[in-house]
Structure 1
Amino acid sequence: MLQNLNMEVFYLYPPQRVWQVLTNRQALAVWLMENDFEPRLGHKFRFVHSTLPGLEGNIDCEVIELDEPRRLAFTWQDSMMCQPSIVTWTIQPVVGGTKLLLEHKGLIQKAIKLNEPIQLSQPWQGKFLHESKAATQTLAPNNRSSVFSSIPVGRYKVLDSIVLSSFLNGGWDYRLNEKLPQILIKYCTI
């Protein structure tokens, strides 16, 4: 399953200033999340997402594209994801300011089927399932065990990463339209 988010935002500031809020560790911490980011190709860094109590909030990332001050891309993988998603920032100078384009491609892993053998030695990361609305049938009890007799068999899909879903469903909009403009005024000097 592939879920994409594309956003376009205009700022009344020059491209270099917008680049600074995307690549400065302290500015990122204020408008996005605590981090150990460095604008260096191949740099592995971590965002610490602390707004969801009880969940591990680390998002592991790696800079995969760096073209100052035009384009920045990094991987994004939290603890519920089997594969990383990709965050790409594109900065375009326009009359009166800068257009910032965000593309966040959210790669979601495949689900396991309950009617297939499950290896208990496999890590459970990314194996959380919920029943789809498709028709299901129930496993018939057998003589060996009735533990699984009430588990429906049918089509299942993976629960999305909560952190990734929060960003793809309004989190980026809030940060780019509410928080980032405040940082452009306060934290950057040209």
Structure 2
Amino acid sequence: MLRNLNMEVFYPYPPQRVWQVLTNRQALAVWLMENDFEPRLGHKFRFLHSTLPGLEGNIDCEVIELDEPRRLAFTWQDSMMCQPSIVTWTIQPVVGGTKLLLEHKGLIQKAIKLNEPMQLSQPWQGKFMPESKAGTQTLVPSNCSTVFSSIPVGRYEALDSIVLSYFLNSGWNYSLHKKLPQILVTHCTS
């Protein structure tokens, strides 16, 4: 299944001001996460995620599209993801302000048999998987691969990144509706 998120938010500020809070490292840190972002095509950067209690980690990103002040896109890959997703921001001037469009897409989440090989990033191997009562789990340290043994055949489960799920389910909504408007008022002048 392809997981996509599309959001549209109106801000009563000019497009350049909205662009500033999307592309300024300090502003991003206030409304989203600490980072080493630079608005430069090909720039690799990290968001330092610590929003979820007990879960800290990095989200590795790369700027793949930059059209100031209209469009910004970057890859998004946390340590549980074997494939990056894509975050795209589109800014549209409208009467009375700016319409900001967010599209976060491209993560394929498949239901898989638990007794067959499945993909997880290595740093997460074994961290969130309880021991099976039916037997033990065998973790094979290879690039993005984990093997479970002695789990009943026919049991299926969809696995996903905890950090990505947080953002797709409520994190983006909270950031765009609660935190970003506050930084628009205080951060930039136009």
TM-score range, shorter chain: 0.7 to 0.9
Give the match for residue 47 of structure 1.
Answer: 47
Q: How does 1:40-189 map to 2 (within 5 A)?
A: 40-108=40-108, 110=110, 113-116=113-116, 120-123=140-143, 125=144, 127=146, 148=150, 151-189=151-189
Question: Which consecutive unaligned segments of at least 5 residues does structure 1 have?
Answer: 130-146
% identical aligned pairs: 84
The match for 2:129 is none
Q: CA deviation digits over 1:119-138, x for unaligned, max 9?
A: 82424x57498xxxxxxxxx
Corresponding residue of 1:30: 30
Amino acid paired to 1:18: V
Quote the offset at 1:81 in angstroms: 0.4
Q: Aligned in 2, Cα 1:159/1:115: closer, same or farther, shift over 3 Å?
A: closer
Question: Mean Cα displacement is larger for which, 155-164 or 30-39?
Answer: 155-164
Structure 2 CA distance for aligned equivalents of residues 128 and 6 of structure 1: 34
SS in structure 2 at match of 1:153: coil
Greater gyration radius: 1
Query: What is the Cα deviation at residue 96 of structure 1?
Result: 0.5
Q: What amino acid is aligned across from residue 14 of structure 2 in structure 1?
A: P
> What count of residue pairs does the alignment treat as equivalent?
170
SS of residue in 1 equivalent to 2:52: coil
Q: What is the alpha-carbon distance in structure 2 between the residues aligned to residue 47 and residue 120 of structure 1?
A: 29
Change in 2 beyond 3 A, CA 1:52/1:126: farther
Distance in 2 (alpha carbons) for counterparts of 1:68 and 1:2: 29
Root-mean-square deviation (Å):
2.3
Aligned mates of 2:106, 2:153 — CA distance in 1: 27
Mean CA deviation greater in 47-56 or 73-82: 47-56
> What is the TM-score of this pair, normalised by structure 1?
0.81
After superposition, the Cα gap between the structure-2 partners of 1:126 and 1:2, relative to the gap in structure 1 and judged at 3 Å, is farther
Match of 2:17 in 1: 17
Distance in 1 separating the partners of 2:48 and 2:141: 29
Structure 2 residue matching 1:171: 3-state secondary structure: helix
Question: CA separation in 2, counterparts of 1:175 and 1:128?
Answer: 36
Q: Which deviates more from structure 2 when the two are superposed, residues 153-162 or residues 44-53?
A: 153-162
Amino acid at match of 1:120: V
- Offset from partner CA, 1:89-117 (integer Å, 9 cap, x none): 00000011000000001413556645447
- Provide the rounded CA distance (Å) in 1 between the counterparts of 2:146 and 2:87: 24
Q: Which amino acid aligns with 1:64?
A: I
Task: Structure 2: state its 5+ residue gaps.
Answer: 118-137
